[in-house]
Structure 1
């Protein structure tokens, strides 16, 4: 393995010297610029064997963002599934938090992760059982009047 690295390095040096010599013989290059040219050519040749950087294309949503929120359901932009609530789906299926999801698709903090009808149903149910009241408030909305 070490011999291969030495052979590769010697080959890179030989190629670098050949390229620099050809460039200098055909172009006017100042003496101060030759070391920089050598470093640049050697660096470029050394990087040729590596993997090319992969450009990641921006993700395409499964549906248009403005069409993803319906009264009865919300459509996941990653996979296109229709859901009433996205939070659990995002974590279990895609390994994302709601913040990651919103950042990935450029959504605002006000983008709903719960279908509007479902949120309304849950809100009505919570009010019905007395959640969301201030201390001392009755379910009817008013305070109890004292007799007297």
Structure 2
């Protein structure tokens, strides 16, 4: 059965490595994790994988959110610009759950600072704020028109109900 576990491990890790970029150290860690998890599942201990997630963060909060990259605090994978997709695909977790698990404040974006700044600058260059302001002005004008048309209906006297004694 050991050869089957090795074959399964090789298949799983090669599939994962084909989708995401892994360094040599990350590849070795991934092989070890998958093999021990498969051994645990074979032995009947299905708690092998969740026990890993229950332990503390892989990196500190300061190291996790750097200017040019974001590192996952669960698995330690780095080099990402944003965490949202990684959390959903790899850990089946929502950003709110991630923040809660590691005590990350809601004011801390789950993106690299340079990435956020580049997106803001791109939006400014394209004039997206001006477009938003124009759209809001049009919407408010329509709301004002509706309000101006509805007072005619509101001016009708309402029927007075008698109170029951």
TM-score after normalising by structure 2: 0.46
More helix by share: 2
Deviation, structure 1 residue 69: 1.1
* Structural mapping, 1:124-143, within 5 Å: 124-133=121-130, 134-135=133-134
2:71 maps to: 75
Over aligned residues, Cα RMSD in angstroms? Answer: 2.2
1:92-141 CA-partner distances (Å, limit 9, x unpaired):
110010000001111111122010000000111111111112229xxxxx
For the residues of structure 1 that align with 2:53 and 2:71, how far apart are their CA atoms?
22
Matches within 5 A, 1:85-124: 85-124=82-121
Q: Which has the higher contact order (CA 8 A, sep 6+)?
A: 1
Q: Is the 8 A contact 2:70 2:83 kept in 1?
A: yes
Unpaired stretches in structure 2, ≥5 consecutive residues: 1-50, 136-165
Instruction: Please state how far the C-alpha of 1:72 moved relative to its aligned partner.
Output: 0.2
- Following TM superposition, by how much is the alpha carbon of 1:67 offset from its aligned partner in structure 2, in angstroms? 1.8
Q: Does the residue aligned with 2:128 lie in a helix, a strand or coil?
A: coil
Could you say what secondary structure the match of 1:132 adopts? Answer: helix
Aligned twin of 1:6: none
Deviates more, 1:65-74 or 1:112-121: 65-74
In structure 2, the CA distance between the partners of 1:113 and 1:129, relative to structure 1 (3 Å rule), is same
Give secondary structure in 2 for the equivalent of 1:100: helix
The answer for unaligned runs of 5 or more in structure 1 is 1-54, 137-148
Structure 1 residue ranges, 4+ long, deviating more than 6 angstroms after superposition? none
Tell me the TM-score normalised to structure 1 length.
0.51
Q: Which has the larger radius of gyration?
A: 1
Distance 1:116 1:122 in 2: 10
